[in-house]
Amino acid sequence: MMETQALDFPKINAVLRTNGTGEVTINGTSHAIEAADEAAVLSDALRIITETAAQLGRPVRVSTTDPDGQGLIIVSPEGVVSEAAPIKPTPRREQDPLPVTAAPTLETAKATTTAAPAPTPVSVPDDSPAEEVPAHPADAAPVTFSAAVTAAPAQGPAPAATAAAVEPATRRSLKDTSFLISAPVLQPATRGWRGVLSRLGFRMDPSPEELAEREDIRTVSQHWPGPRTIAVVNRKGGANKTPTVVMLSAILARYSGAATVAWDNNESQGTLGWRTEKGGHNNSVLDLIDSSQALLSPSAQAAEIAQFVHHQTSDKFDVLRSDENEEGDHEVTAEEVDIAHQVLTRYYRLIVMDSGNTARAANWRRMIHHTNQLVVPVTAIEDRAEAARLTLQTLESRGGHDAELARNAVVIVSESTDAKRSMSGDALKRAKDEARRIADGFTPHVRAVVRIPYDPALVNGPIRYDALQPATKRAWLAAAAAVAKGF
């Protein structure tokens, strides 16, 4: 019955070698096996095949190659193995079976009674060391897939009533069977030498590093129910807040495709507008607040927000600038933060907020009220790290929502300093060592700590994700994934 349920998909080939190695190939994906002995290789091969059958919820057919030749077996989700249409030659141990003792006939009985008695063995002293008898004789049967076939009673013509009574017990419900593979198909390697071989036609599994990168990409590509707000804070200037806002916004927007806005919530004039692309207008957060009633009206259309934000054409997110009027003296209030946040959550799924350096400011504290995930950037300078620690300590001392944000915070340590020039040699080594020390110090107190290598593309001028070095991109992807895990 089990054999009739097995299909030719997936195509599975299993090889068992006498040198303690084996291989299971499932739809072209190879799983090499090495073990202490042939029995362990057989066990590992059957485990891999059983897991595949369990994922499919039905038995699978397997083409086998072992010291006995080739054959076919059926493996059920429960690990039961049966032989199906064997094509291998009959093993020698089956061709020359051991004699089977039968009931003696009259002639054999007479022969037995007249035969001379067997001589009694005599023990002869031997001073030579006793020869150790091997546990497995040299001519022992090799380990093969047929050895794993579950023993079944001899089949013979059974009464029709008995067969009819047994069949309903072995038949499975269609509700419990599916032809869809629940587990995702592992894509072949695309990086390094494994990727080169895959492109040449030799399908290779990805390395652990590539699998980790794929998982980070999957994490930042999610869509969450309802908007999410990220606050990037450090009460000390020059702590890399603005580059952190730009990088997180770019990665989340690029991979998730969700509408993302970076908001400069500086109480007066921030620098986010200086480090990003400017649109065809000069509007800022104050203009958005002034037009909030129209933007929140039922008749407002999604495209109307474009006249207040500045789109980043390559990194796919928008920027809401702070007030850049040199003659102005307006400071954003808590009520205005509420209004702007209400407007932005109407038009965007992800809001990444830059902040000023005053944790006591009304707009800073109101930003924390709306925050879902706290991010604390730090550079490789001790006073920046101390300012970050005090920022977290202040939030923790307030209790409630603020304290929970501090405990769940992500600290991003950049291997850079305040120097507005490229770093190299001893300066770069010192920055790396200091960044490592700072990261180790924060690790016990927050949810995650990520280190970012120094990259000259982040020092001055507009920030573009594509301008970063590969190692920097990978580090920022890991940082964005750590942030997204907190949503």
246: helix, strand or coil: helix
Q: Once rounded to an integer, what is the mean pLDDT over residues 134-150?
A: 67
Give the whole-angstrom CA distance, residue 11 versus residue 26: 6
* Least confident interval from 152-156, 250-254, 266-270, 361-365: 152-156
| Residue of 15 and 118 predicted with greater confidence | 15
Q: How far apart are the first and last CA of the chain?
A: 49
Give the whole-angstrom CA distance, residue 321 versus residue 314: 18
Before 10, cis peptide (omega within 30)? yes
The rounded percent of the chain whose pLDDT value lies above 90 is 56
User: What is the pLDDT, as a whole number, of residue 417?
Assistant: 66
| Torsion angle of C-alpha atoms 255, 261, 266, 269, degrees rounded to 10 | 110
Segment 329-367, tens digit of pLDDT: 788 999 999 999 999 999 999 999 999 998 889 999 999
Please give the helix or strand (H or E) that residue 352 lies within, else none: strand 350-355
User: What is the pLDDT, as a whole number, of residue 418?
Assistant: 59
| Residue of 257 and 162 predicted with greater confidence | 257
Q: What angle do CA 371, 373, 375 make, to 5 degrees?
A: 110
The whole-chain average pLDDT of the chain stands at 83
Q: Are 300 and 291 in contact (CB under 8 A)?
A: no
Q: Once rounded to an integer, what is the mean pLDDT over residues 437-448?
A: 96
pLDDT at 20 over 50: yes
Give the strand pairing for 81-83 and 69-75: antiparallel
Give the whole-angstrom CA distance, residue 264 versus residue 249: 12
* Least confident interval from 87-91, 197-201, 257-261, 277-281: 87-91
Segment 181-196, tens digit of pLDDT: 666 778 999 999 999 9
Give the whole-angstrom CA distance, residue 335 versus residue 347: 19
User: What is the pLDDT, as a whole number, of residue 2?
Assistant: 46
Q: Once rounded to an integer, what is the mean pLDDT over residues 210-230?
A: 95
User: What is the pLDDT, as a whole number, of residue 130?
Assistant: 42
List of residues 6+ apart from 333 with CB closer than 8 A: 362, 363
User: What is the pLDDT, as a whole number, of residue 91?
Assistant: 47
pLDDT at 225 over 80: yes
List of residues 6+ apart from 456 with CB closer than 8 A: 422, 423
Which residues sit opposite 63 in a β-bridge? 13, 72
Segment 294-337, tens digit of pLDDT: 999 999 999 999 999 999 999 999 999 998 877 767 889 999 99
pLDDT at 39 over 80: yes
Tell me the pLDDT band of 153, cut-offs 50, 70 and 90. very low
pLDDT at 413 over 60: yes
Residue 189, token pair as written in the block? 């390697």
Tell me the pLDDT band of 131, cut-offs 50, 70 and 90. very low
User: What is the pLDDT, as a whole number, of residue 173?
Assistant: 78
Please give the helix or strand (H or E) that residue 373 lies within, else none: strand 373-379
- Measured CA distances, 454 to 47, 213, 251, 372, 476 (Å): 46, 20, 18, 28, 12
239: helix, strand or coil: coil
